[in-house]
Amino acid sequence: MKNKFKNFFRGMAKEGKETKEMLFFFKGHFLEKRGSLEEMKKHIIQVKDILRMVFLIPFLVLPGSAIVIPMLFKIARKLKVELRPDSFR
């Protein structure tokens, strides 16, 4: 159990770092027109990760979320949709 918490916090730290990098990239890209296409693709993946996390927030506050969230992941797996951000795979 301790290892799972460690992995969770490590994943959250990585997502936070990637989000910060993404914000600086987009700021530079839109204001100064700098950055490559490869960097843009990398940061668009990060935007998708953020949207995945935002999608799960309402389910975390609902009563019964311990049952609903695993069911969501199971349904998503059957539909071949990934709900977890890259840092948690």
Q: Say whether pLDDT at 74 is over 90.
A: yes
Per-residue pLDDT of 1-56, as tens digits, reads 778 788 888 888 898 899 999 988 888 888 887 778 888 888 898 999 899 888 88
CB-based contact 15:87 (threshold 8 Å): yes
Number of domains in the chain: 1
- Which pLDDT belongs to residue 27? 86
Whole domain around residue 50: which residue ranges? 2-88
- Which pLDDT belongs to residue 37? 83
Confidence of residue 71 (pLDDT cuts 50, 70, 90): very high
Which three-class secondary structure state does DSSP give residue 9?
helix
* Dihedral pair phi/psi, residue 85, rounded to 5°: -65, 160
Q: What is the value of pTM for the model shown?
A: 0.72
Count CB-CB contacts under 10 A for residue 22. Answer: 19
| Three-state secondary structure string covering 31-49 | HHCCCCHHHHHHHHHHHHH
